[in-house]
Amino acid sequence: MPNTSATGGYLLGVLPDNLVLRRFIGGVIVAVTGLSTGLVRPRWQPNPPAIPTADIGWCAFGVTQSAPDASAVVQLNEDGDAGILTRQEEVSVLASFYGPNVSGYSELLRDGLELSQNREAMFLNGMGLKEVGPSAHVPELINEIWFDRVDLPLIIRREIRRNYSLLSFLQANAPGSFIRTETLEIPL
């Protein structure tokens, strides 16, 4: 059982579910490019599906880096029985398009993310698009066949909230009370 701030020791947060983030990013790519769900896949899967043939357009994407802001904010919830840590994070995503018209798909994603309506789902989930980087044409040799490929880097900014069992002084379970003994005045 996790500790609270009343028991001392380390406070345990909830392990983040990064699968949810990957599914969300994949859904955005599907919606903006028009590629079918089966043709937009996360990179680095434990059991990767078969690679489509060179004449089929598809996308592999993955989170390559996450950079948190320098500090987080911790506030007690309304009941004073839990602390909420909030921080901002920049998530770098690499979307690699394969097959015919790879430049077209990367341009659809780049330009489609400029439309506020296409970013609305991100906004509603505490995210926003910070930057779309320059695309890079990097053909790839797979099973002795050259696949046309374009890499498009994205930076998504998101808010992260974690709950911890922090208790306020007002909930202290110790006998006694707080007494204000003097007021400190600081001259200006």
DSSP class of residue 11 equals P
pLDDT digit string, tens, across residues 107-165:
999 999 999 999 999 999 889 999 999 999 999 898 888 999 999 999 999 988 877 77
- Three-state SS at 70: coil
pLDDT digit string, tens, across residues 61-104:
999 999 998 888 887 777 666 677 788 999 999 999 999 999 99
Residue pair 158/89 in contact by the 8 Å Cβ criterion: yes
**Residue 40: pLDDT above 70?**
yes
d(CA 154, CA 87): 20
**Residue 171: pLDDT above 80?**
no
User: In which band, very low, low, confident or very high, does the pLDDT at 179 lie, cut at 50, 70 and 90?
Assistant: low
**Which helix (DSSP H) or strand (DSSP E) does residue 146 occupy?**
strand 145-147
Which residue reads 């204000």 in tokens? Answer: 180
d(CA 162, CA 185): 37
What amino acid is encoded at 35 in this protein? L
d(CA 17, CA 163): 14
